[in-house]
Structure 1
Amino acid sequence: MAKSTDLQVVEVEGAGTVSLPPDSLRTNVSVEVRCESLEAAREEAAAKTRAIIEALERLQIPSLQVRNVDVSVRPISEGETERERVAPPRIIGYEATSTVSVILEGAPIDVLRVESSRILDAALSAGANQTSGIRFFLRAPQEAYRAALKASIADAERNAGAIAQAARIKLVGWRSVSSAGDEDGGRAWQMAAGRIGPRSTTFPIEPGEIQVTATVRARFRFAKR
């Protein structure tokens, strides 16, 4: 709508969306173990982590990136209520957690469809008991975002034209335009196969299309008919 302080300008927004198949995936798989001693917990977690990494490498997926990204250990205390506690809680064991990051970039969607299930199945079969699920994404969403920007510009022009027709005014040119899009080039990722427990994942995983969005704010000069 026209502003009272600038009666010769109409301001609109435009939105554009581009849908593309993903070309990359990532997931985190973890192993969590509990043992009576700190050393035993660390050793078991390390052994299972090595088994997970070796199982993923045996898949021989080109360009697959596998690395251990986090290791944590915490004591397990004997359960007591605050009212009953008269001394520090007794440590009865230790919990160790190790997380492995798995990334596959620049692959056709048919490859992602097959390998996503194989990756989870191999990791869980090798000892992983936690996973964040699969995240599909575009390795380089910039071109898709630019295409969405072009679509948002066209949408802004159509919106301004509709306002001009309804208000019986004549658009005479652009005044300004600015991007009001999302961060990271729009929504360039998609979650699939959410948190999965320690079981086989032989079910199929279907990557959906990635929607990249952009929004612009545009101002047009106008004159009365």
Structure 2
Amino acid sequence: MTRTVLVASLAALPLAAMALPATAQTLSSGPVVAAGDAVLTLTAEGKTTATPDLALFSAGVTTQARSASAALSDNANKMNHVIAALKKAGIADRDIQTSNLSVNPVYAEQRPDNNGSGPREPAIVGYQATNQVQVKQRRVGEFGKVIDTLVSAGANQISGPQFLLDNPDAATDQARVEAVSKARARAELYAKASGLRVLRVLTISEGGGYNPQPMPVFAMAKAMRADAPSPVAAGELDIAASVTVTYELAPAAN
């Protein structure tokens, strides 16, 4: 949505008598503008779409055992199979990064104390180990197949994907160009409606930018079917950029 602010009051400056005195004032942003000039500040947004070429997701294994060492050892064995499956599916070492490694106690369910002695300290009945990796899938079309491969290899925690652009600069630049073009067109519109003309740009500032889709979350891996590839639709990404531009306006040419 475009927000327009007339910094100089046009009502206080009759167009027929609008002069450009030599005395100048300095705006807070720096440029020097004649005291009688009108200044227009507005914000415009540009958008473009792009097909994602990168899928970011996490995969891991959670195991449980009576001792912390047993839980961690079992987890390590299963996680090695998961990482090996990722590499076999074509994921490079640089695209696999450990994001979580933890071992936590598992407590027995607490029951109400009927003898009035107060609550008992919860008893530890086992330990739970979790190991997760963050994965960049560069062949987006194979994402569903990779997920199914991970489930077969023993992964029981999978979340994602978040679809991204590996290099969003070109798409973001397109959105920036559109934002500047819209700002100029609206400035011309307001100036003409006020009997003025756009003289020059005083300031430009940028807001917004690359805005990928939020990450949806998969169900637990055990709920996925192993007899058919998991359906995944990458869709398109909306890339947005906004600019705030201040223009100097002058009387329309006769």
Q: Indicate the TM-score class for this superposition, using the shorter chain for normalisation.
A: 0.7 to 0.9
Q: Indicate if the aligned counterparts of 1:192 and 1:205 stay in contact, CA closer than 8 A.
A: no
Please report how far the alpha carbon of residue 9 of structure 1 lies from its aligned counterpart in structure 2 after TM superposition: 0.5
Q: Indicate if the aligned counterparts of 1:172 and 1:220 stay in contact, CA closer than 8 A.
A: yes
Aligned counterpart, 1:194: 217
Identity of aligned residues (%): 25
Q: How does 1:174-185 map to 2 (within 5 A)?
A: 174-182=201-209
- 1:45 pairs with 2:75: yes
Inter-partner Cα distance in structure 1 for 2:118 and 2:151: 39
Please report how far the alpha carbon of residue 29 of structure 1 lies from its aligned counterpart in structure 2 after TM superposition: 0.7
- 136-145 vs 62-71, greater mean Cα deviation: 62-71
Aligned counterpart, 1:126: 153
Q: Compare CA radii of gyration and give the structure with the larger one.
A: 2
Q: Which runs of 4+ in 1 moved over 6 A?
A: 81-84
Q: State the superposition RMSD in angstroms.
A: 2.5
- 85-94 vs 58-67, greater mean Cα deviation: 58-67
The residue matched to 1:203 in structure 2 has which SS? coil
Alignment partner of 1:211 out of 238, 243, 246: 238
| Unaligned stretches of 5+ residues in structure 2 | 10-34
Alignment partner of 2:143 out of 116, 119, 130: 116
Q: Indicate if the aligned counterparts of 1:53 and 1:67 stay in contact, CA closer than 8 A.
A: no
Aligned counterpart, 2:20: none
Q: How does 1:54-203 map to 2 (within 5 A)?
A: 54-60=84-90, 65-80=95-110, 86-105=119-138, 111-113=139-141, 115-182=142-209, 186-187=210-211, 189-191=212-214, 194-197=217-220, 198=222, 199-200=224-225, 202-203=229-230
Superposed CA deviations along residues 176-203 of structure 1, whole A, max 9, x for unmatched, are 2111234xxx21x335662221223623
Residue 158 of structure 1 aligns with an amino acid whose one-letter code is A
Q: How high is the TM-score relative to the length of structure 1?
A: 0.84
Please report how far the alpha carbon of residue 168 of structure 1 lies from its aligned counterpart in structure 2 after TM superposition: 3.0
Please report how far the alpha carbon of residue 63 of structure 1 lies from its aligned counterpart in structure 2 after TM superposition: 7.9
Inter-partner Cα distance in structure 1 for 2:171 and 2:94: 24
Q: How high is the TM-score relative to the length of structure 2?
A: 0.75
Superposed CA deviations along residues 63-92 of structure 1, whole A, max 9, x for unmatched, are 883344421000011233798754432111
| Unaligned stretches of 5+ residues in structure 1 | 106-110
Aligned counterpart, 2:13: none
